[in-house]
Structures are given as structure tokens and as C-alpha cells.
Amino acid sequence: MIKNITKYPFSVQRSERRRQKDHSSFVIWFTGLSGSGKSTIANATEKKLIESNINTYILDGDNVRHGLNNDLAFSPEERVENIRRIGEVCNLFVDAGIVVLASFISPYRENREDVKKVVGSDNFVEVYINTSLEECEKRDSKGLYEKARKGEINNFTGISAPYENPISPDIEIKTEELSLDDAVTKIVTAIASKLRLE
């Protein structure tokens, strides 16, 4: 089947879409444990970027599982497929000239590297939301850690499934040390040069 598929050579290219929007496009990939603050920080970062007329879109782990990935559970294989699909969606957004903020636990380093390869290393900013397991369990607004500790949830990252910390993230946010505003400022400052068109 694949051998009979050919990409159509559309005349409008990524560079033109970026020029139209007057900024570059790339992925800001938020990774960290459940309850670490990924969605909260991504949401606040998007608000800040929108104020500067940056075209953005957020892809969030829970939200995506209500639609595109509602056929996937949380086995290691399904986690890999979940992130593979998101990587391809991110690539479409980058091609469209949009800054996409992707908030996913994405526990495996190899998967995050795979996304980086799909979108291109120049178009991938890894943001490690570094929050201790103890702090995540304290926050546990959804009661998920408690259920995982009781064995009511299988394959729960940090409890019964692994989380592989980024080795050299582009940005590290230690939420137990930084306020939300300071975290957003750190991210926006770090990506400022990437937003400029070459």
C-alpha cells in the first residue's frame, strides 16, 4: 500500500505560512509527571504568547485522549502510539506556521526523541516540568495517585510505570522553586529568539 502513495507537491510552503504570520513555528514540548503542572504552565504560556500576537495551539494529554486517541489505553505500547500520533500532529501544526504547545507526560526518552526527529531538532523545545513525586502526590486533585497506590489504576507513571527524566532539556522548570509567572517568563524568554523569522 505504502509504495502506491505519493506526496502531492503543494505550492505553498512552510516558509510562506511563517511569513504570513510574521513569526517562526515550532513545538514546545512539556513533559513531566502527572500533576507536575504541565497543563497549567502550558496554558499560561499560551496566554502570554497570544498577547504578543503569536499564533498558537495547545495539545494536551487528557484532551487528546477524548478524541484523536480515545482508542488507546496506557500500556507501554499504547503510550508509544499515543506519542507517535501526537508527534505527527505537531509536525502538521509546525508546517502550518503555528507554535504548538504539547503537554504530555511522555514518560519515555526514546519517544520524545522520536517526536524531535519527526518535527526536526530545530523545531523542538523540550520543557521538563520538574516536580517531585511527593509534591505531585500532594497536589493530586484528581485522586489518581491514591488510586494507583491502592492498585486501582495499572501502569500509572511514577508508581507502577516508569518516568525517564530528560537528560538535557532545553528548559527546566522546578515548580517547587518557581512561581507560575516566573516559569512562564523563563519559557517565553528562552524561546524569544526562535520566534524570529530568519
Beta strand residue intervals within the chain, DSSP E: 27-31, 56-60, 99-103, 124-130, 171-174
Name the nearest CA neighbour of 64 among 36, 44, 26, 93.
93
How far apart are the C-alpha atoms of 190 and 185, rounded to whole Å?
8
Query: In terms of residues, how long is the chain?
Result: 198
C-alpha cell at 88: 505527527
Q: Is 179 labeled as catalytic in the residue annotation? A: no
At residue 112, what is the residue type? R
DSSP secondary structure of 17-41: HHHHHTS---EEEEE--TTSSHHHH
Exactly one of 24, 39, 106, 168 is catalytic; name it. Answer: 106
- Compute how many other C-beta atoms are within 10 angstroms of the C-beta atom of residue 75: 12
Instruction: Evaluate whether 60 touches 42 at the Cβ level (below 8 Å).
Output: yes
Residues with catalytic roles: 106
